[in-house]
Structure 1
Amino acid sequence: MIERLEFLLALARERHFGRAAQFCNVSQQTLSAGVKQLEERLGVLLVERGSRFQGFTPEGERVLDWARRIVGDARAMREEVASLRRGLSGTLRLAAVPTATPIVASLTTPFRARHPDVRFSVHSTTSGEIGRLIADHEIDAGITYLENEPLGKVIAVPLYRERYRLLTAIDGVYGKRDSVSWEEVGRLPLCLLTPDMQNRRIIDGHLHNAGRDAAPLLQSNSMIVLLTHVRTAKWASVMPAVLADSFRLSERVRSVPIGEPDVSHMIGLVVPERDPMTPLCAALIVEAQAIAPTVADDIASL
């Protein structure tokens, strides 16, 4: 039964029978047969079929909700039994918003020192996608914004407050300033993250409050793309202090604090709210609580 529920979850994730089968490391015929057997077992149609995947029936959507809980509980049980026998092991699946990626190592490095048999999978994505991945049990934890937008049913551990810097040419109009206002930032030819990123929506909000609507000349979902443009000293951008100071800027680019007003937004660790909690998530929360004061002090000193 668990395997068939995992097939259904893979299908919900991939929206395609072939890709779902590949994700589960089985043939498409095996996956289709498993879903069909689940339908026969439950006595309802779960998947709308045609020449290709068309979606889930209302009954299928409800079964998906149960599948997420059951598969998550089964994984938690396996982890707990394994940890009792040989300590923590397995893969800890993390996702982080792009602006928080520089601090991931502050969490994973001490965690690995305490639990050397644990491996890590880390990828960068939007705050909205982190919420979905947690709800669907596709990741164990996320590092994301704790304010502004709904998080869903999670336990959150605050890590630090995100503050902002203008990255601009040293010989530019604000290149030698000690600080700039959001209104002044809005006058520049900016390159920013795409609107699906919460950081971009935050920046848009602060610019709008300062009387300047964001109209970037370039937008990208890649921080590397933004950085390479900034390093030409022909573009300007707004980045969190932790990110700006982690990049090796050229001698022609400065990182200038943005004030008037001085704003910040909380970044933290989020894990699914569940009882019992998986051993990996429980240990990760302990680690996050231990490093939070140090991370916050380091960020505040930037």
Structure 2
Amino acid sequence: MLLTDAADGLAHRTTATWAEASRLPLCLLTGAMQGRRVLDELFAEAGVRPSPRVETDSVAALFAHVRTGRWAGIVPHTWLHVFGVPYGMRAVPMTEPARTVRVGLVANAREPGSVMARALTEVAHRTDVAAAVERLPAAPGSQQ
């Protein structure tokens, strides 16, 4: 999802392209992070290369920067359920290309292991995460 100022022309559209997003003053995750590598692949598929004005290694910091209204950001839609859409911003789905990305859970096999890791692994085995995400209500302020 593209998070952009509500006054921006893209904010009033139902979708935004990666090429359009590349021209915005972006705040993105750093290139060392997997999430950024995925974004860079999508930008490359669209034939563009972003020039972010701000880079961070924290999703919370990304949202804090975007909240100022000085930068736009690109985040997975599920993060909007955690942080919400910052005041004065709009969340616009990204297209051209539109793609979902698989994520994985990695846990250390050492014994005795972490109680939290075991509990998370057990829940992951019992849960259809994709179906659970689809049942989430639309994030506040999104164009869904």
Is TM (by shorter chain) over 0.5? yes
> Shift in Å at residue 242 of structure 1?
0.8
- Runs of 5+ consecutive residues of structure 1 not aligned to the other structure: 1-164
More strand by proportion, 1 or 2?
1
Structure 1 residues 268 and 253: CA distance shift in structure 2, 3 A: same
| Aligned partner (choices 43, 54, 58) of residue 218 of structure 1 | 54
Q: Quick check: which has more Rg, 1 or 2?
A: 1
1:244 Cα deviation after fit: 2.5
User: Could you tell me how far apart the structure 2 residues matched to 1:185 and 1:279 are?
Assistant: 41
The answer on whether the counterparts of 1:178 and 1:256 sit within 8 Å (CA) in structure 2 is yes
What letter matches 2:12 in structure 1? K
> Paired residue for 1:259, among 86, 95, 105?
95
Q: Is 2:73 the partner of 1:242?
A: no
The code of the aligned residue for 2:14 comes to D
Q: Which has the higher contact order (CA 8 A, sep 6+)?
A: 2
Among 101, 104, 107, which residue is 1:271 paired with? Answer: 107
Equivalent pairs: percent with the same residue?
34
Q: Quick check: 1:197–1:221 contact (8 Å CA) kept in 2? A: yes
Alpha-carbon distance, 1:232 to partner: 2.0
Cα distance in 2 for residues equivalent to 1:283 and 1:228: 31
**One-letter amino acid of the structure 2 residue matched with residue 299 of structure 1:** V
Give the TM-score normalised by structure 2.
Answer: 0.80
Shift of 1:268: 2.6
Compare the two structures and name the one with the higher helix fraction. 1
State yes or no: 1:206 paired with 2:13. Answer: no
Residue correspondence of structure 1 range 1-302 to structure 2 within 5 A: 165-272=1-108, 280=115, 284-291=120-127, 293=128, 295-301=129-135, 302=138
- The alpha carbon displacement at 1:186 in A equals 1.1
C-alpha RMSD of matched pairs (Å)? 2.3
Could you list the runs of 5+ residues in structure 2 that have no partner in the other structure?
139-144
Give CA deviations for 1:83-102 in whole Å, capped at 9, x if unaligned.
Answer: xxxxxxxxxxxxxxxxxxxx
> TM-score, with normalisation over the residues of structure 1?
0.41
Matched residue of 1:267: which SS? coil
Aligned residues: 135
Deviation at 1:284, TM superposition (A): 4.2
